[in-house]
Every structure is written in C-alpha cells, then in structure tokens.
C-alpha cells in the first residue's frame, strides 16, 4: 500500500462510499473510530520453564446493531491498525447480512506454529483471562479467525466459564460441537462464498465449466469454497498456500489436494510425491504469479492487502471474489471499477462464517441445536436475501457491488443510530 495504513484505508472507504450514498455525516463520524480497544500483555509459561510475553488486542468497533462480534487472529503480523480495520469490516459485514451484531476483532502477535500444543493452550487461556471483563454473550462474542480454530475456542470458553463460575457457551462461537458448537460452522465461510458466487453466476449467466478459478489460500475458507466450486463443475486451475502454489491447465481434484495437504502439511508437498497418480500434471508458481494468472475468477482467501497499487494493473481476472478480509486495498477500488473488474466484496462473500456464528449463538441461548440441513438452509436464506438487497442497489446506482453492500450496511447502521433516540445527543457520546 502507499501512504495509508490499513485502518485509515478502511475508514476512507466508509467515508467515500457513505458520502456518495447520502449517509448522514454523523453516522460516518460514528464509524471513524472504535468504541473501545484493549491492549494486553500476556505472560505465558513456556515448556522449558521460561516466561514469554505476548502482545494481544481486542477491539469492539461499533455496537449499535447488537453485541459486537468478530474473530481472534494468532499471527506474527497482527498489529493494532489491522485489528481495528478488521473490526470495522465486521461492523459492516454484520449489517450487510442483517444479523443483530456490531463488529469486533482480536489478535495476538504470535506464530502459533512455533508453540507446542500446551504453550498454545496456555496462551489462549491467558488471552481469555485478560479479556474476561471485555467480552460476554451480550457484550462481545469472539470466534476463530486466521490461525485459530475450534480447539482454541474450546480452551477459551472453558477459561471464561472458570472465571465466571457459570456455563456460558454463547460467549464464543466456532467451538467444538461437544461444547455447544454448531454443525456447519467449519464449512460456513466457504459455503457462504460459494452461495454468493453462484448467485452472481446465475444473474450473469456464467457457465461453471467455462469459469476457470485461481485460489490464493488453502486454509479453512479456501478449502471449502474450492471443494464446493469443484463439485459444481468449476475448474480450479491454481491453488496456493503460504509456501507457494501449483497450476494445472485442466484443473485439480480438490479433495485429493486437501488430503495431500493434510498428509504433508503443505501444498508443495504434492510436488515431491511422485506416487500420487490422482494428481494431474502441475507447474510450480509463486503466490504473486497466482494472482496475475489469466483466469476467469480469482479468489484471494488468505490475508489482506494482496492487490495493491503496485500489482493491480497486472491482475487479469475479470471477477474477484474476496474470501479473505480486505485482500483489495481500498485505494485501488476505483482503478478496478474503471477497467470493469467485478469484485464480490468480502463483507458479503465471506459473511457465511459470522452468519453461522450467529446461528451458534442463538442455539446456545436457546439450549437447542439445529440439524446441518437447517443450518445450511438458513445460511442460504440469509445470504441470498443479502445478495438480492445489494443487487437491487447495484443495478440502480451503477457503482460497484462493494458500494452497494456498504450502502445497505450504512443505511442499516444509520437507522439504528436514529432509532436509539437522543441519549447520545444529550450525553455528547
Ligand atoms: N473471523 C470470521 C470473519 O472474519 C468470523 C467471525 C465470527 O464468526 O464472529 O468473518
């Protein structure tokens, strides 16, 4: 990115789209800064007896629509600006799909792969201990994000319940099923993205078999969206993870690729396994090369800021589906629109995860669990309705699909601010 940091870039996007959509200046003002931010030092006993200090954050961005909601990221590049940007995007995302949550995000600066399992558990528990007064089933509800998973959520909910001497499964989502997790939560982000891509394909008359896909990021979301697209006939011609990528003109069998990744722990392991006859011929490519491939649909499903002013003019795919949060820097939105590149924006495309988190929270509050079929059907209802709302504005206003999604969200937030009444006016909050 040029001179803007990721948070300033995220706020600038809200200002730009909100102003163009006629959203009241007071609403945009309310979204310029987070409601509350907690920075914590986490001393953790390592297996060798020493103590290491980790830095963690939690940001509750905006809560006019409900308790704040958003994941916890364990990654060496976590920083406060990034956490705030991600929390702002969560506020927009929850409003886009019309679920009763505000936005939040948390993170710890750590490379989880450097820790033993017990060190990781101690760190997860330390993080929840530091956060216990900041979160709660009706206040702020964390969930998994990059490099965190159901097991980590299980340790955290356990720690919270020890501290509060109560059972409180609704304090966190993305838990193991045995602790009140929801069926279908693990695949939800990928399934949501699949639904959004299919809704778009339906309206544009795209033929899946002629729509060649490149996928950057083969984590939970990337794997599930690729699996579902593969099943629907889309050729997945390129896949990458943090170690690099592979390309095949005829497309990959995603299930067998996933098995290899599980077995070898990295995608490039497939290159060295000559014994695997299920794999088609493939070429080794870098992550940068993957983004610039001449494909029909590009899916960035890893981290933010991968399409920037530096590489935007080399991106050839006419459609980009943002499965990661913030893969396209805000300052290149305009450039993509000018050249006619369609972007299915993150705040819609990856909203399946938080939508099923919402279902998990509802099930926990009701102490009643739904079947996988119910979860999938309700996910489809919510996302297809959100797609319709956005598409209607997109067709009328002629901006980008992102502009339309932000317009839906900002109008909902504006209506809630208005409905809250005048308390904030008198108190100056
Ligand atoms: N981390 C996911 C996201 O960015 C899910 C958040 C949640 O389920 O609360 O949308």
What's the gap in Å between 294 CA and the centre of ligand 1? 30
Residues within a 6 A CB radius of ligand 1: 69-71, 143, 145, 173-174, 325, 350, 353-354, 357
What the block records as the tokens of 277 is 């006859």
What 3-state class would DSSP assign to 253? coil
User: Kind of pairing, strands 102-109 and 213-216?
Assistant: unpaired
What's the gap in Å between 264 CA and the centre of ligand 1? 27
pTM exceeds cut of 0.85: yes
Give me the helices (H) in 287-351, please: 287-291, 333-338, 346-349
pLDDT, one tens digit per residue, over 225-275 is 999 999 999 999 999 998 899 999 999 999 988 888 887 766 765 544 444
pLDDT, one tens digit per residue, over 125-162 is 999 999 999 999 999 999 999 999 999 999 999 999 99
pLDDT, one tens digit per residue, over 78-134 is 999 999 999 999 999 999 999 999 999 999 999 999 999 999 999 999 999 999 999
What the block records as the tokens of 39 is 């920075």
pLDDT, one tens digit per residue, over 197-206 is 999 999 999 9
Q: How far apart are CA 79 and CA 71, in angstroms?
A: 14
Q: Of 1-10, 207-216, 264-273, 417-426, which gets the smallest average pLDDT?
A: 264-273
Looking at every residue in the chain, the average pLDDT score rounds to: 94
pLDDT of 1 > 60? The answer is: no
pLDDT band at residue 38 under the 50/70/90 scheme: very high
Q: Which atom of ligand 1 is nearest to the CA of 71?
A: 1
**Cβ neighbours of residue 325 under 8 Å, at least 6 residues apart?**
86, 89, 304, 346, 350
Given ligand 1 and candidates 66, 68, 139, 143, which is best to mutate, with the most ligand atoms within 8 Å of its CB?
143
pLDDT, one tens digit per residue, over 356-395 is 999 999 999 999 999 999 999 999 999 999 999 999 999 9
Please name the helix (run of DSSP H) or strand (run of DSSP E) that holds residue 140, with its range, or none.
Answer: strand 140-144
Domains, the chain, ranges and CATH? 6-179 (3.40.50.10860), 188-349 (3.40.50.720)
Contact (Cβ atoms closer than 8 angstroms) between residue 130 and residue 39: no
pLDDT, one tens digit per residue, over 165-199 is 999 999 999 999 999 999 999 999 999 999 999 99
Q: Which atom of ligand 1 is nearest to the CA of 89?
A: 4
**Cβ neighbours of residue 192 under 8 Å, at least 6 residues apart?**
349, 350, 351, 352, 353, 355, 356, 379, 383
Q: What pLDDT was estimated at residue 276?
A: 46
Q: What pLDDT was estimated at residue 421?
A: 81
């Amino acid at each position: 990115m040029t001179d803007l940091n990721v948070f300033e870039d995220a706020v600038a996007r809200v200002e730009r789209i909100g102003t163009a959509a006629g959203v009241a200046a007071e609403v945009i003002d309310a979204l310029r800064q987070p409601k509350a931010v907690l920075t914590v030092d986490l001393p953790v006993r390592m297996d060798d007896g020493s103590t290491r200090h980790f830095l963690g954050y939690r940001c509750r961005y905006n809560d006019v629509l409900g308790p704040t909601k958003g994941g916890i990221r364990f990654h060496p590049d976590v920083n406060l600006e990034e956490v705030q940007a991600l929390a702002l995007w969560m506020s927009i995302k929850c409003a886009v799909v019309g679920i009763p949550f505000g936005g939040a995000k948390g993170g710890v600066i750590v490379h989880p792969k450097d820790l033993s399992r017990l060190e990781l558990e101690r760190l997860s528990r330390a993080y929840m201990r530091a956060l216990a007064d900041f979160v709660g089933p009706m206040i702020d509800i964390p969930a998994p994000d990059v490099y965190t998973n159901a097991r980590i959520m299980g340790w955290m909910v356990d720690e919270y319940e020890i501290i509060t001497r109560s059972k409180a499964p609704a304090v966190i989502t993305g838990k193991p099923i045995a602790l009140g997790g929801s069926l279908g939560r693990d695949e939800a982000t990928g399934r949501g993205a699949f639904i959004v891509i299919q809704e778009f394909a339906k309206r544009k008359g795209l033929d899946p078999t002629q729509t060649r896909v490149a996928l950057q990021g083969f984590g939970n979301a990337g794997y599930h969206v690729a699996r579902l697209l593969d099943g629907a006939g889309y050729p997945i011609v390129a896949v990458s993870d943090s170690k690099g990528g592979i390309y095949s003109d005829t497309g990959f069998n995603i299930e067998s690729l996933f098995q290899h990744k599980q077995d070898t722990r990295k995608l490039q392991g497939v290159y060295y396994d000559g014994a695997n006859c299920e794999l088609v011929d493939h070429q080794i490519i870098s992550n940068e090369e993957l983004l610039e491939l001449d494909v029909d649909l590009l899916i960035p499903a890893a981290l933010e800021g991968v399409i920037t002013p530096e590489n935007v003019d080399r991106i050839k795919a006419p459609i980009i589906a943002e499965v990661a949060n913030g893969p396209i820097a805000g300052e290149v939105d305009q450039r993509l629109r000018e050249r006619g590149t369609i972007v299915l924006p993150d705040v819609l495309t990856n909203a399946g995860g938080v939508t099923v988190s919402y279902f998990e929270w509802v099930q926990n509050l009701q102490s009643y669990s739904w079947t996988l079929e119910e979860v999938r059907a309700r996910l489809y209802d919510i996302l297809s309705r959100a797609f319709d709302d956005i598409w209607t504005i997109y067709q009328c206003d002629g901006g980008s699909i992102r502009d339309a999604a932000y317009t839906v969200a900002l109008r909902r937030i504006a209506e809630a601010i208005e409905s809250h009444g005048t308390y904030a006016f008198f108190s100056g909050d």
